[in-house]
Amino acid sequence: MAQIETAMVLAAGLGTRMRPLTDRIPKPLVTLGGRTLLDHVLDRLADAGIRRAVVNVHHFADQIEAQLKARKEPAITISDERGAILETGGGVLKALPVLGASPFMVHNSDSVWTEGARSNLRALMDAWTPHRMDCLLLLAHRDSSIGFDGRGDYYMDASGRLARRTGSEEAPYVFAGVSILKPGLFEGVTERAFSLVKTFDRAMARNALYGVVLEGTWMHVGTPDALMEAESHLNEGQRRRA
């Protein structure tokens, strides 16, 4: 197992689907269960042994930077995207010089979940096999996820290799917002702004895109309604444990 020590947290989005909350704060600073979405992510990364996190900023960037000043772990580096909207793939591409030459994790700031028997991030890192993988995705069961109402994203074979859904098909697994990537997937990319999905497709074309299914309940907190549903799910879990 190759140790993953660095992660990028995608926190530069406009959060338009989360309005009106994001008219005054960036979506990563929306609170869920008494903590910001960003702190949920960074706490989980630190608990999994990630030592350094690169956080990109654009919308209400000053607020995110102020929030991060109080954190001790993981060590934070800011990737400043105030000048342009680069989308998820473009944001990672811009940050490559500080992410380094080794494989790294990428974590959406609005992706949270309840854990199962073990850390899902640790399970993802344990499954990372660089001699056969270019990219490894954390997946969730579509039918048991909160805040997701799409047709699903991926099919998985017995080895864990992934194929992406096309057209009007339905797929059993949805991308849960966390991946491990090799920097080489970005070689030769000339676009400045693009989706990270294009990078996943590049790995898939090489038969090197794999997945791990998380234990627990994944919550895609993208809208105010999804936030309320996630809050209710967390509260119900606390009541059951009390």
pLDDT for 66: 94
Contact (Cβ atoms closer than 8 angstroms) between residue 177 and residue 138 = yes
pLDDT tens digits, one per residue of 72-107:
889 999 999 998 999 999 999 999 999 999 999 999
In a domain? residue 143: yes
pTM here?
Answer: 0.92
Pairing label, strands 209-213, 135-141: parallel
The CATH number of residue 189's host domain is 3.90.550.10
In a domain? residue 24: yes
Burial class (CB in 10 A: 0-12, 13-18, 19+), 11: buried
Between 50 and 21, the more confident residue is 50
In a domain? residue 1: no
Tokens standing for residue 133: 């993988």
In a domain? residue 52: yes
Burial class (CB in 10 A: 0-12, 13-18, 19+), 176: buried
In a domain? residue 12: yes
pLDDT tens digits, one per residue of 187-232:
999 999 999 999 999 999 999 999 999 998 898 888 898 888 888 8
Residue range(s) defining the domain that contains residue 228: 6-241
Length of the chain: 242
As separate numbers, helices (DSSP H) first and strands (DSSP E) second, the chain gives 6, 13
How far apart (Å, rounded) are the C-alpha atoms in residues 37 and 181?
A: 23
How far apart (Å, rounded) are the C-alpha atoms in residues 132 and 229?
A: 38
Rg (CA), the chain: 17
Q: Is 72 left (phi over 0), alpha (psi -120 to 50) or beta?
A: alpha
Tokens standing for residue 46: 């630190």
- Total domains present in the chain: 1
In a domain? residue 39: yes
Is residue 183 very low, low, confident or very high in pLDDT (cuts 50, 70, 90)? very high
How far apart (Å, rounded) are the C-alpha atoms in residues 71 and 100?
A: 22
In a domain? residue 163: yes
How far apart (Å, rounded) are the C-alpha atoms in residues 111 and 119?
A: 15
pLDDT for 238: 56
pLDDT (mean) for 166-189: 93
In a domain? residue 132: yes
How far apart (Å, rounded) are the C-alpha atoms in residues 218 and 77?
A: 27
Contact (Cβ atoms closer than 8 angstroms) between residue 64 and residue 87 = no
Residue 170: which of 154, 147, 158, 148 has the closest Cα?
154
